[in-house]
Amino acid sequence: MNKHYELLAPAGSPEALQAALRFGADAVYVGGPKLQLRAGSAGFSMDALSEAARFVHGRGKKLYVTVNAFPTNREIDALGDYAQALSALGADGAIVADLGAIAAMRRAAPALPIHVSTQANCLNYAAAQVYWDMGATRVVLGREMTLEQIRELRAKIPVGLELEAFVHGAMCMAYSGRCMISAYLTGRSANRGACTQSCRWRYALMEEKRPGEFFPVEEDADGTTILSSFDLNCLDFLDQLIDAGVVSFKLEGRMKSPYYVATVTNAYRRRIDGILDGSATPASVARLQRELNAASHRAYASGFYFGAMKKHAPDDGAYLQDCTFVGVVKARLPGGRIRVEQRNRVHAGDVIEALSPNALGLSFAAANMTDADGNPIDAAAVPMTLFDMDAPEGIEAGDMLRIRNR
């Protein structure tokens, strides 16, 4: 089996980037200062991009930069310089949606690989061939494609054109992410990187002659949120995506926390490795699914890979999370202890689970807790402060700690 499969993780911050790489990502995608479809807080400055490239390449991994908003005339004019700057700092690819942007960036920086964004809605082999003829090296498939359609597309395009597909995370209810609800309701356009996620708000019905009387919109017995999408989860059938010809498996979440990125990346890294080395079993996949449930998510679904959306669980419009993130291990101390930077409250006696790339399912009871000055404490209650406690071997700096809610 071809072992050149890529796990591609999101990074909306330097901390998320570091977590993605530590927990097994082969590549990360980030937003730069121009034309990236996320809030400015998830974008890297040019200096930060240069530092990210050095950090990523120093670990033998790849860095892709999103340039996937739809540019205006003036923005097209500036794209040549931007493409050259990305190429100069060592970006391994630019993720681009607009045809004019692809052409402008190819002219200005022919050495910069172009990946066609899912925003381009590439759903057929003819479109993929056109992108290849324009110089693109990869297509991020439209999210509406089935496994069978992907397999057919793969058979009819050049061998050198790679296929990337989303395998986990939030799904926009619009067509491949092209949505106008946010712009209509708030003046903030999803297609310009300012989505307010209006589809995830709760809505009610009001009859014209009964002003002020609001009735819940009931979709069915499972939920009342008619616009909000499920979260994609392909863990169970990742092997089928490999068989269909996908070589890069993309995790959504540039607005997510480092803990979320670490959790999801860790699970998919182990899943891919289990497929490639033949060690995957139904029991091991179930354990990894339990890992995914530890991070905040909507009810899971299989997307459109099997045609109609298949739900994994009922959806009541709420976010689900089996665990609470309680801290990051900052250092391994002498005497079998660790130093932790706290996020949520920890009490002596709490059963702590370690999220680690080195061990799965490692847990222990919080014991002999002290503040950073060595004073005994019964609980760590102030976020971002340091505390120490006993911990078994195998827990290292960079690991994350959580408490299971149920």
Q: What pLDDT score was predicted for residue 317?
A: 56
Homologous superfamily of 6-171+229-301: Phosphoenolpyruvate-binding domains (3.20.20.60)
| CATH number listed for the domain at residues 323-404 | 2.40.30.10
Q: Which portions of the chain are predicted below pLDDT 70?
A: 1-3, 37-42, 173-180, 182-184, 190-194, 200, 204-205, 215-228, 309-318, 406
- DSSP code per residue over 243-272: HHT--EEEEP-TTS-HHHHHHHHHHHHHHH
Angle CA 157–161–162, to nearest 5:
115
Tell how far CA 82 is from the center of its chain: 25
Query: Which pLDDT score, from 0 to 100, does residue 170 have?
Result: 86
Contact 9, 261 (CB under 8 A): yes
- 74-92 CB burial, b ≥16 within 10 A, e <16: ebbeebeebbebbbebbbb
Residue-range domain boundaries for the chain: 6-171+229-301, 323-404
Place of tokens 């071809």: 2
Whole-angstrom Cα distance, residue 177 to residue 304?
14
Supply the pLDDT for residue 299. 85
Cα first-last separation, the chain? 39
